[in-house]
Amino acid sequence: MFLFQDEAGAGTTATNETAEAGAEAATTTESVDAAADLSEASEKASDAADKLMSGDFSGGSADLIEMGKEYVVPYGTRVIGVLVLLFIAWIIARWISSITRKGMERAKIDTTLTKFASNMVRWLVLILAGLACLSVFGIQTTSFAALIGAAGLALGLAFQGTLGNMSAGVMLLVFRPFKVGDAVNIGGETGLVNEVGLFTTEIDTFDNRRFIIPNGEIFGTTIENITYHPRRRADVAVGVEYGADIDKTREVLEAAANRVPGRLEDPAPVVFLSELGGSSVDWSVRVWAPTADFGAVKQATIREVKNSLDEAGIGIPYPTMDVNLTQPVST
Look at residue 193 and tell me if it is in a domain. yes
Last residue of a domain, one of 225, 245, 266: 225
Q: What local confidence, expressed as pLDDT, does residue 281 receive?
A: 94
Q: What local confidence, expressed as pLDDT, does residue 51 receive?
A: 52
Which structural domain range is residue 77 located in?
A: 45-139
82-96 burial, b at 16+ Cβ within 10 Å, e below that, comes to beeeeeebeeebeee
Q: What local confidence, expressed as pLDDT, does residue 26 receive?
A: 45
Per residue in 156-214, pLDDT (tens digit) is: 666 667 778 888 888 888 888 999 999 999 988 899 999 888 788 999 999 999 999 99
- Confidence band of 330 (pLDDT split at 50, 70, 90): low
Look at residue 15 and tell me if it is in a domain. no
Does 211 share its domain with 237?
Answer: no
Does 218 share its domain with 237?
Answer: no
What mean pLDDT, rounded, does the chain reach?
A: 77
Considering only CA atoms, give the Rg of the chain: 38
Does 220 share its domain with 240?
Answer: no
CATH code of residue 296:
3.30.70.100
Does residue 129 carry a pLDDT above 90? no
- Confidence band of 31 (pLDDT split at 50, 70, 90): very low
CATH code of residue 107:
1.10.287
Look at residue 22 and tell me if it is in a domain. no
Last residue of a domain, one of 99, 123, 139: 139
Look at residue 324 and tell me if it is in a domain. no
CATH code of residue 212:
2.30.30.60
Number of structural domains the chain divides into = 3
